[in-house]
Chain A
Amino acid sequence: MKTQLPIAIAFLSGFIMILAFFSANPGMVNFSQNLLTWVTIVGGISLLLGIVSILKVNLRVISERGKDWGFKLILVLFVLGMSICGIIWGTKENTPFDWLFQNIQSPMMSTMFSILAFFVASAAYRAFRARTKEATILLITSVIIMLGRIPLGQYLWDKLPDYADWIMAYPNLAVQRGIIIGAALGAAAMSLRIILGIERTYMG
């Protein structure tokens, strides 16, 4: 029963969504949209699970004065602090929650994202070292693309942007489409395995 019921639910949900995809009947479309709304509602409620997990893991370390307990204390304080601010004063503009988000959370997330620029450089350096035939082709292609995308490239040779565009529009796009078609077939086959209950490893 413990495994049969989830499989039955997966089968029915998948089957209904397929039916709804091929039907324009308002009742059927409404039905499938309601199912998707349920997913959102369940996802929202489950946030409580996440908060419990964060508090459980970190409070244990804090109480035992474990490794890096100071960082975990800051994390717990901010989880509780932002939750309390949101519950008491709401999340609209000019509320304490908004202030915390705009002045602490948002800049920290931007900082994380900006590190990407440095990592692109270090990863590109490793990938473009011409140690093999393939890496050399990659290096030459990337030089053409990068120079073709900036004014300096056009200044050096006016045909360079055309070559860069050609590489992006033909060899690059062909490979991307190949990967996308393969992935789409893989996703469809996996969906079929899940709907039919053959694939059940994700359920434990």
Chain B
Amino acid sequence: MKKRVICLLLFIIIFYLFNFETAFANTSEKSSWFRIDRLNILILLILFSTVILLYIRSAKKGKEFFIRKISGLEAVEEGVGRATEMGRSVLFIPGIHELDEIQTIAGLSILSKVAKITAQYNTPLLVPVRYPLVLAAAQESIRGAYLDMGKGEDYDPEMARYVAGEQFAFVAAVYGVMRRDRPATNVSMGAFYAESLLLAEEGHESGAIQIAGTANPEQLPFFIAACDYTLMGEELYAASSYLSKEPLMLGSLKGQDWMKVLLVICILLGVLFETLQIGGGFFYKLFIEH
């Protein structure tokens, strides 16, 4: 009850701050409250959310789900173990994008799991970041992981450090870390651009075992060529659920899979109907914003 009141109060304060009466001043334009041209997206969103929520509900009831093995994630523990044996550090790069990018958040979720393993083995962890907000989030993520493992006293805020705001200055700084500290394991998870190959090749040169993941399809070939393991697209987003093994998180993954099946069916039907010129372009209209 207390939480709901807090939420409601917060909502009212935010709306007041943003002068929401301007919204009500335009109620004469009845159609402007809802964009009918985005109805198809709304239907898909409701369907998607429903499927995911249903799977989360069945996960809550104790149903177990099969999730296929992702070798890149299985290798994380192996990589940290290698670093521990060699007495070297683990380098984690949560991408080069700001915190408003979902890939960065996915990267930070993986960082939390990696930090738990490094805390367990007392392995040094280095996390260079490009944005101060990501720095704050990374520090919190690592701190939480160390506290969870009962190693709060081993946590050092300097494990995550802001190195540079410019893209290639950031690359130069990470090169320095790879050359001087020679981490035994490099984990790069998040949004990467032109620097992906620069970082991966330098990591390969330094002899580190490399695990990378991004949802940017243009950068995937570089990671595949230069890294030992690569998480492709959706695997990056699934990583935190996979590593946590929490039924609620795994339930959402299963829901996502069913949506994929539905989309594949729609695409196949669309191809068939459009090729045969039947259905009045229904499937074509379904996937475009009018």
The answer to whether the Cβ of B63 comes within 8 Å of any Cβ in the partner chain is no
Distance A51 CA – B162 CA, assembled complex (angstroms): 8
Return chain A residues, CB-CB under 8 Å to B33.
23-25, 28
Give the contacting residue for A56; candidates B32, B45, B158; CB below 8 A. B158
Of A83-91, A123-131, A151-159, A161-169, the segment with at least 4 beta carbons within 8 Å of chain B is A123-131
**Is A204 in contact with B141, judged by CB distance below 8 angstroms?**
yes
The answer to whether the Cβ of A189 comes within 8 Å of any Cβ in the partner chain is yes
**Is A201 in contact with B109, judged by CB distance below 8 angstroms?**
yes
Closest-by-CB residue of B relative to A34 is B18
Distance A198 CA – B251 CA, assembled complex (angstroms): 11
Give the contacting residue for A22; candidates B15, B42, B252, B263; CB below 8 A. B42
In the A-B complex, the 5 residue pairs with the smallest Cβ-Cβ separation, listed nearest first, are: A27-B23, A204-B144, A186-B237, A204-B140, A186-B234
**Is B201 in contact with A204, judged by CB distance below 8 angstroms?**
no
Distance A21 CA – B133 CA, assembled complex (angstroms): 25
Answer whether A27 and B263 are a contact pair too, CB < 8 Å, given A50-B132, A180-B217, A201-B113.
Answer: no
**Is B217 in contact with A190, judged by CB distance below 8 angstroms?**
no
Taking CB atoms and an 8 Å cut-off, the chain B residues in 51-94 that contact chain A are 52, 56
**Is A25 in contact with B26, judged by CB distance below 8 angstroms?**
yes
> Quick one: CB contact mask for B204-239 with A, threshold 8 Å, 1 for yes?
000000000001010011101110000011111110
**Is B255 in contact with A189, judged by CB distance below 8 angstroms?**
yes
Return chain B residues, CB-CB under 8 Å to A11.
7
Answer whether A183 and B233 are a contact pair too, CB < 8 Å, given A26-B32, A57-B158, A71-B176.
Answer: yes
Distance A181 CA – B217 CA, assembled complex (angstroms): 11
**Is A199 in contact with B109, judged by CB distance below 8 angstroms?**
yes
Return chain A residues, CB-CB under 8 Å to B158.
56-57
Say how far B271's CB is from chain A's closest CB, in angstroms.
12
Say how far A74's CB is from chain B's closest CB, in angstroms.
12
Q: Enumerate 21 A-B pairs (CB-CB under 8 Å) in ascending A order.
A: A9-B10, A21-B41, A27-B21, A30-B22, A35-B18, A49-B132, A51-B162, A53-B135, A54-B161, A54-B163, A71-B176, A105-B169, A108-B168, A109-B167, A112-B198, A113-B168, A183-B236, A183-B237, A192-B49, A192-B52, A193-B241
Give the contacting residue for B102; candidates A9, A119, A191, A201; CB below 8 A. A191
**Is A23 in contact with B236, judged by CB distance below 8 angstroms?**
no
Return chain A residues, CB-CB under 8 Å to B141.
201-204
> Quick one: CB contact mask for B111-148 with A, threshold 8 Å, 1 for yes?
01100000000000000000111011101111111000
The answer to whether the Cβ of A4 comes within 8 Å of any Cβ in the partner chain is yes
The answer to whether the Cβ of B96 comes within 8 Å of any Cβ in the partner chain is no
**Is B112 in contact with A202, judged by CB distance below 8 angstroms?**
yes
- Size bin of chain A's contact surface: 35 or more
Return chain A residues, CB-CB under 8 Å to B102.
187, 190-191
The answer to whether the Cβ of A176 comes within 8 Å of any Cβ in the partner chain is yes
**Is B215 in contact with A186, judged by CB distance below 8 angstroms?**
yes
Which residues does B use to contact A, with CB under 8 Å? 3, 6-7, 10-11, 14-15, 18, 20-26, 29, 31-35, 38, 41-42, 45, 48-49, 52, 56, 98-100, 102-103, 105-106, 108-109, 112-113, 131-133, 135-137, 139-145, 158, 161-163, 165-169, 171-172, 176, 180, 194, 197-198, 200-201, 215, 217, 220-222, 224-226, 232-238, 240-241, 244, 248-249, 252-253, 255-256, 259-260, 263
Dominant secondary structure of chain A at its interface with chain B: helix
Taking CB atoms and an 8 Å cut-off, the chain A residues in 6-43 that contact chain B are 8-9, 11-12, 16, 18, 21-28, 30-31, 34-35, 39, 42-43
Closest-by-CB residue of A relative to B7 is A8
Closest-by-CB residue of B relative to A58 is B161
Say how far A31's CB is from chain B's closest CB, in angstroms.
5
**Is A23 in contact with B98, judged by CB distance below 8 angstroms?**
no
> Quick one: CB contact mask for A67-95 with B, threshold 8 Å, 1 for yes?
11001000000000000000000000000
Closest-by-CB residue of B relative to A21 is B38
The answer to whether the Cβ of A150 comes within 8 Å of any Cβ in the partner chain is no
Return chain A residues, CB-CB under 8 Å to B237.
183, 186-187, 189-190
Distance A193 CA – B99 CA, assembled complex (angstroms): 16
Say how far B221's CB is from chain A's closest CB, in angstroms.
8
Return chain A residues, CB-CB under 8 Å to B198.
112, 115-116, 119
The answer to whether the Cβ of A188 comes within 8 Å of any Cβ in the partner chain is yes
**Is B18 in contact with A179, judged by CB distance below 8 angstroms?**
no
Return chain B residues, CB-CB under 8 Å to A113.
168, 194
Give the contacting residue for B6; candidates A5, A16, A116; CB below 8 A. A5
